[in-house]
Chains A and B, each alone.
Chain A
């Protein structure tokens, strides 16, 4: 029987691949999900395909992330070199936006499946299995033989009806925290916002211009949750919706209540949720229902920037006051939130950095990370930067310099100080979120093991790290802002960096001690702090730096 190899990241259950696998299964095709979490998995993936008793009819590559694209393309090249003669297709956000470039430059690829590809992939596989033409399958991008191989785009199919899509395949063991099963889920697809740096809105704009947001029925979502709890013991549901909330507080409230009613009707009693929100979503009435009825224990709030300049550049459709309100509401409800700050964007000034530092200080009891806006395929920001002639690199990886020499200098000094804290091996800015999560799991599921002093100690740890980051950045900001000579940079950065590492060592030691204490008090499973220590590593190891001469 022909089978399909679905290759993609599986650090957590990859819903895009698992939705595809479910649609293939419904159509009668067997598929295997092959985890390709980093280049270290390449040999295992090659072996699974090349050493199989029967080679797969199709290899599908999930190229959602631009920075992972070279890995997936190299895998395709290596498969061909080893003689794999089946069909290789790619899909996902990056593959969709870069389809013409990829088909031009990589003969190893036969096709690209654009957009939400459940129907496209099934139709492609069916055509190949039947020996029928496949180039005109809706959603397909192929090479046009008549025009010398230029990309030929078939029309897009109708977007999948979320009420009819089979639920994603849930094979394999789920993630666990203190032995509580964790699974991702989506209750919607799409994004109604218009952020300049994000490819998700651009992606959905291709298929549903102006109406980019589709919701599942609450009853269907609750039924999937109930099935996962019944069949796999899942208790923690991580909603990966780009917009879990509707851009109308009254409608959001109604939808959350409807979902809570449906969950109750399904008889799910022991559970918790994790969601993401835009700052404007966070109001007291909506979040009270989120916390009390949907038992949310963690919300990622997409702050991104608190500077007026950044809010405009990034097209956040929000205001600083909404960012502050989001933090205030979380505090009032005792909800654990975390956030990222895109400290550096193409228009960032020293003043906007100062504004963001003020915000981080305001919200210092919640973990955060900061970085630079990267330029992703399909985004309005990339188009703008290309039009302004400010991009270097190519479609696989764009780079740029910040607008003014002083902010570029500050950025480079900041990266020198914060590389390992924010991005490096076991980056503490990420792992400390795991420790805070552990505290929430204990508070929700093991009240007998919860201790207010431990909880406060955990919060104090992340506050200490946050304030240390702010203090270090302010020192650098002052140095650059007063025009200190560049020859003084190294003398400033070296002790600051040493101090930062010393603070991290202390915080990490206390964090691990706290996690051990929690583990002993709970008496089952392992905390996320231990698992999370390894989470960031494979994703970030790929960035060891090459610099053009």
Chain B
């Protein structure tokens, strides 16, 4: 059997993938290095992403989607529904559950804002709530607003947003966030790096240790 015989008409039986969109020629792309969200397990990270997919699939906004997930989604088929989050004061290391990320936000006064998000997991063992922001100090930018969007129902999590306005579109901001959890307090030090900032730009956050042990923060290299 010739090669062409093997393949005659094979495509006729198959679905046309024209809907897949125009194809490209890919260069040999290098992966961008990205730190690991170590506070979340693989199943937690995937579940968070699945939650996002389901929200979009059901045509819901973030807040509404979270509520519906709690009521209807169930995760009963493949993953157990996470319990409601615990109060952070119950944790021996309450601030260890928070991870930081950042993304570019809305434009304001000709510059693009950056939203620094401090979040806990929606799954045990790091699904804590009850945090508060006591103060924010910014070098290289200004504080625009803080917001607490934490959710306390099943699958809930801490979600603290700090909106910042950098001094220029190409810079590094140093952000100190005084966090509280009951009587416990800590100062988190973040270096927020960005270049050519515009909506959709990459923003890198690195954390430079905290002051919870009373020692000087490692505020040098990110």
Given A43-B57, A108-B79, 19 further pairs, Cβ under 8 A: A21-B14, A47-B57, A67-B31, A70-B42, A74-B49, A74-B53, A77-B47, A108-B77, A220-B3, A371-B32, A398-B36, A425-B201, A490-B140, A494-B171, A536-B29, A540-B32, A545-B34, A548-B36, A548-B39
CB-contact partner of A547 in B15, B28, B101, B172, under 8 A: B101
Per-residue contact bits, chain A 395-415, to B (CB 8 Å; 1 contact, 0 not): 111110000010011001001
* Minimum Cβ distance to chain B for residue A487 (Å): 6
CB-contact partner of A42 in B18, B45, B56, under 8 A: B56
Number of residues of chain B lying within 8 A (CB) of chain A:
84
Q: Which stretch from B83-91, B92-100, B142-150 is at the chain A interface?
A: B92-100
Q: Which stretch from A32-40, A446-454, A456-464 is at the chain B interface?
A: A32-40
User: Would you call B215 an interface residue if the criterion is a C-beta within 8 Å of the partner chain's C-beta atoms?
Assistant: no
User: Would you call B13 an interface residue if the criterion is a C-beta within 8 Å of the partner chain's C-beta atoms?
Assistant: yes
Q: Verify B195–A81 contact, CB threshold 8 A.
A: no
A78-B57, A437-B25 given; A415·B31 CB < 8 A: no
User: Within 8 Å CB of B198, what residues of A?
Assistant: 425
Q: Verify A490–B14 contact, CB threshold 8 A.
A: no
A75-B53, A437-B25 given; A493·B172 CB < 8 A: yes
* Minimum Cβ distance to chain B for residue A73 (Å): 4
User: Within 8 Å CB of B206, what residues of A?
Assistant: 412, 547
User: Would you call B52 an interface residue if the criterion is a C-beta within 8 Å of the partner chain's C-beta atoms?
Assistant: yes
B residues 22-42 with Cβ under 8 Å of A? Answer: 22-39, 41-42
User: Within 8 Å CB of B174, what residues of A?
Assistant: 490
Complex Cα–Cα for A219 and B4 (A): 11
User: Would you call B54 an interface residue if the criterion is a C-beta within 8 Å of the partner chain's C-beta atoms?
Assistant: yes
User: Would you call A369 an interface residue if the criterion is a C-beta within 8 Å of the partner chain's C-beta atoms?
Assistant: yes
CB-contact partner of A172 in B23, B36, B95, under 8 A: B23
A residues 151-190 with Cβ under 8 Å of B? Answer: 164, 166-167, 169-175, 177, 182
Q: Verify B23–A174 contact, CB threshold 8 A.
A: yes
Q: Verify A175–B25 contact, CB threshold 8 A.
A: yes
User: Within 8 Å CB of A47, what residues of B?
Assistant: 57
Q: Verify B42–A33 contact, CB threshold 8 A.
A: no
A81-B77, A340-B30 given; A71·B49 CB < 8 A: yes
Q: Verify B39–A39 contact, CB threshold 8 A.
A: no
Which residue on chain A has the smallest CB distance to residue B41? A394
User: Within 8 Å CB of A173, what residues of B?
Assistant: 18, 22-23
User: Within 8 Å CB of B32, what residues of A?
Assistant: 371, 419, 422-424, 540, 543
User: Would you call A434 an interface residue if the criterion is a C-beta within 8 Å of the partner chain's C-beta atoms?
Assistant: yes
Per-residue contact bits, chain A 18-37, to B (CB 8 Å; 1 contact, 0 not): 00011001100011111101
Which of B21, B25, B195, B210 gathers the greatest number of chain A CB atoms within 10 Å?
B25
Q: Verify B22–A175 contact, CB threshold 8 A.
A: yes
User: Would you call B188 an interface residue if the criterion is a C-beta within 8 Å of the partner chain's C-beta atoms?
Assistant: yes
A residues 46-62 with Cβ under 8 Å of B? Answer: 46-47, 50
A108-B78, A549-B100 given; A70·B49 CB < 8 A: yes
B residues 2-24 with Cβ under 8 Å of A? Answer: 2-4, 6-7, 10-11, 13-18, 20-24
* Minimum Cβ distance to chain A for residue B141 (Å): 13
CB-contact partner of A175 in B23, B79, B172, under 8 A: B23
Q: Which stretch from A244-252, A311-319, A495-503 is at the chain B interface?
A: A495-503
User: Within 8 Å CB of B10, what residues of A?
Assistant: 22, 25-26, 166-167, 169
Complex Cα–Cα for A47 and B49 (A): 17
Q: Verify B30–A501 contact, CB threshold 8 A.
A: no
A370-B30, A494-B171 given; A425·B78 CB < 8 A: no
Which residue on chain A has the smallest CB distance to residue B169? A501
User: Would you call A300 an interface residue if the criterion is a C-beta within 8 Å of the partner chain's C-beta atoms?
Assistant: yes
Complex Cα–Cα for A508 and B29 (A): 19
User: Within 8 Å CB of A101, what residues of B?
Assistant: 42
User: Would you call A393 an interface residue if the criterion is a C-beta within 8 Å of the partner chain's C-beta atoms?
Assistant: yes
User: Would you call B103 an interface residue if the criterion is a C-beta within 8 Å of the partner chain's C-beta atoms?
Assistant: yes
Q: Verify B35–A545 contact, CB threshold 8 A.
A: yes
Interface pairs (23), CB distance under 8 Å: A32-B17, A70-B49, A78-B50, A80-B78, A81-B77, A106-B43, A166-B10, A167-B3, A167-B10, A338-B27, A394-B42, A396-B42, A397-B34, A423-B30, A424-B195, A430-B27, A490-B172, A494-B171, A501-B195, A531-B24, A536-B29, A545-B205, A549-B207
User: Within 8 Å CB of A536, what residues of B?
Assistant: 27, 29
A81-B54, A416-B204 given; A12·B24 CB < 8 A: yes
A81-B77, A397-B36, A549-B188 given; A172·B195 CB < 8 A: no
Q: Verify B16–A395 contact, CB threshold 8 A.
A: no
Per-residue contact bits, chain B 48-80, to A (CB 8 Å; 1 contact, 0 not): 011011101100000000000000011101110
User: Would you call A129 an interface residue if the criterion is a C-beta within 8 Å of the partner chain's C-beta atoms?
Assistant: no
Complex Cα–Cα for A498 and B52 (A): 35
* Minimum Cβ distance to chain A for residue B3 (Å): 5
Q: Verify A167–B202 contact, CB threshold 8 A.
A: no
A10-B23, A21-B14, A33-B17 given; A392·B36 CB < 8 A: yes
A residues 534-549 with Cβ under 8 Å of B? Answer: 534-536, 539-541, 543-549
Complex Cα–Cα for A78 and B52 (A): 9
Q: Verify A501–B6 contact, CB threshold 8 A.
A: no
Complex Cα–Cα for A500 and B169 (A): 13
CB-contact partner of B25 in A12, A42, A67, A546, under 8 A: A12
Per-residue contact bits, chain A 327-363, to B (CB 8 Å; 1 contact, 0 not): 0000000000010100000000000000000000000
Q: Verify B220–A223 contact, CB threshold 8 A.
A: no
Q: Verify A227–B35 contact, CB threshold 8 A.
A: no
Which residue on chain B has the smallest CB distance to residue A433? B27
* Minimum Cβ distance to chain B for residue A393 (Å): 3
User: Would you call A528 an interface residue if the criterion is a C-beta within 8 Å of the partner chain's C-beta atoms?
Assistant: yes
* Minimum Cβ distance to chain A for residue B222 (Å): 5
Per-residue contact bits, chain A 63-85, to B (CB 8 Å; 1 contact, 0 not): 00001001101110110111100
User: Would you call B102 an interface residue if the criterion is a C-beta within 8 Å of the partner chain's C-beta atoms?
Assistant: yes
User: Would you call B110 an interface residue if the criterion is a C-beta within 8 Å of the partner chain's C-beta atoms?
Assistant: no
Complex Cα–Cα for A549 and B158 (A): 14
Q: Verify B11–A169 contact, CB threshold 8 A.
A: yes
A167-B6, A398-B36, A543-B32 given; A77·B78 CB < 8 A: yes
Complex Cα–Cα for A50 and B222 (A): 45
